[in-house]
Amino acid sequence: MAEAFRTTTTTTTLLVLSLLVVAVRSDTAATPVTPSTACNETTDPNFCRTVLPSNGTSNLYTYGRFSVAKSLANANKFLALVNRYLSRRTGLSAGAIAALQDCQLLSGLNIDFLSSAGATLNTSANSTLLDPQAEDVQTLLSAILTNQQTCADGLQAAASAWSVRDGLAVPMVNSTKLYSVSLSLFTRAWVPKAKGGKSGGGKKSKPPRHGHGRGLFDATDDEMVRRMALEGAAAAVAVVGEVTVDQSGAGNYTTVGDAVAAAPTNLGGSSGYFVIRVAAGVYEENVVVPKNKKYVMMIGDGIGQSVITGNRSVVDGWTTFNSATFGEFLSPVLGTGFVAVNMTFRNTAGPAKHQAVALRSGADLSTFYLCSFEAYQDTLYTHSLRQFYRACDIYGTVDYVFGNAAVVFQGCRLLSRLPMQGQSNTVTAQGRTDPNQNTGTTLQGCTIAAAPDLAANSAFTVATYLGRPWKLYSRTVIMESEMDALVDPTGWMPWDGDFALATLFYAEYNNSGAGADTSRRVTWPGFHVLNSTADAGNFTVGNMVLGDFWLPQTGVPFMSGLN
């Protein structure tokens, strides 16, 4: 990546502009309106009118707080319903039980998220919220919808879960509508209006920034490797404790799972990280980082050296969600901040086993640096919340980066492998379901190329596409990246007929390489070739994930804006 130049816009000027925008928005949101008027611009006005009290008038702030409180009550009822099904397991297949267990976990997280969002809205001194608070709440409300959709997807995929699915269908649909109304009302009241058109259907439009953000040291990637791997994590970040995993028995633990279990619970970010060093070796285990294991930093001996591997797949009876070799799904109520450095996460199920996840990330403010993710279909599940990947390698075939997080990949390699006969490769399958979700996938300064097995098989003709719309408001932006000739000239692949082609937001900006020519790209209403730095700037680290607020403490180098 070329060295970026630093912005000439002062922090003071940006803050003043931000305050002016919020002040104008605050005056509008504080104006009393009827419930019917408040519902007019939500995603489902008719349903919204059944949610809000029918008499009297209030303002958007009051309606937003009311809707979030009602959503919390609903989330508790939905979890109780799921628990009732799980308590009566007679007649339920293993697949149905697995899908319900996913719903149980996700519903519990929704209660955490709604409690946190409600507390923020009820205790704020003013009706207005400034970044990062406004973005934090929008992130939580976005993730609630993602969690509910994941629950629905798991039950839909479990062919033997018909009776369960039928019993949960109406409560699930109504829950989704209610959560969407809460997000709509919050966005109208607390989030400045987005630009239309190319801002991506709901992403706030902010001044474009250029230049680098840094960790605690003004370091390059190579310098950070030396400091973290050779001098110890304390050379780069604050550390509260450190253990070693070594299969030989020379460390504190012989498995990664045991080391995770030993980490302190609910660490605060100001205290520092609990560091788990993973010595070289192939660790055959499925690891889950529980929601209370916050601020864990995992440092290996390098890509291909410290390897966590498993082989779960949907074909073998696992849900896509729980097929992950490594999963972290942490509650962001007190912050999370998971970091992995110099690690490989692998799923060896193979292409014939279809969905088989190497890593699933649902931890807010999670960071992966100099890591590799290796599988075939659905390699990397960027499930929800805010994530950052720097200088990583991702190998796969079908939809190998998928999910509904707000996520930026910077300086990464996306490497398409040899799929099964008759399959095409799709790099991304972004899962945004609601126009007010602040989610989307950004590839910046990345390389899209063939993995060695595909490159060596010249007789095997495989089309590689940049992405396809998994959900209705799918959003993916690829910018300042290099695309090899394996990228199909049309660039993007439909999911099913004309589904989502008018509502998705796919964009390319200032890319290079033999596959970057946009003259023969799809002509869908939702596809854009961006020519403005202001439009592209919405999807940078500084704007897409507000990285300037939280990435410095990780010690990981990052670029805040555009090249």
Kindly list the catalytic residues: 399
Angle formed at CA 113 by CA 110 and CA 119, multiple of 5 degrees: 135
Query: Which of 314, 412, 309, 418 lies closest to 359, judged by CA?
Result: 309
**Which secondary structure element, helix H or strand E, spans residue 440, and what is its range?**
strand 440-444
Contacts (Cβ under 8 Å, ≥6 apart) of 20: none
Q: Are 446 and 413 in contact (CB under 8 A)?
A: yes
CA distance linking residue 94 with residue 85, whole number of Å: 13
Q: What is the CA radius of gyration of the chain?
A: 23
Query: Which of 380, 323, 322, 388 lies closest to 349, judged by CA?
Result: 323
* Centroid of chain to Cα 552: 19
- What is the DSSP-derived secondary structure letter of residue 195? P
Residue in the structure block whose two tokens are 């200032």: 510
CA distance linking residue 152 with residue 102, whole number of Å: 10
CA distance linking residue 199 with residue 180, whole number of Å: 20
Q: Are 272 and 295 in contact (CB under 8 A)?
A: yes
Q: Is 269 exposed, middle or buried (0-12, 13-18, 19+ CB in 10 A)?
A: middle
CA distance linking residue 360 with residue 381, whole number of Å: 4
Q: Are 484 and 513 in contact (CB under 8 A)?
A: yes
CA distance linking residue 48 with residue 212, whole number of Å: 43
CA distance linking residue 425 with residue 441, whole number of Å: 17
CA distance linking residue 254 with residue 217, whole number of Å: 32
Residue in the structure block whose two tokens are 């009393």: 32
- What is the DSSP-derived secondary structure letter of residue 525? T
CA distance linking residue 94 with residue 293, whole number of Å: 28
- What is the DSSP-derived secondary structure letter of residue 33? B
Q: Are 260 and 293 in contact (CB under 8 A)?
A: yes
CB atoms within 10 A of CB 54: 9
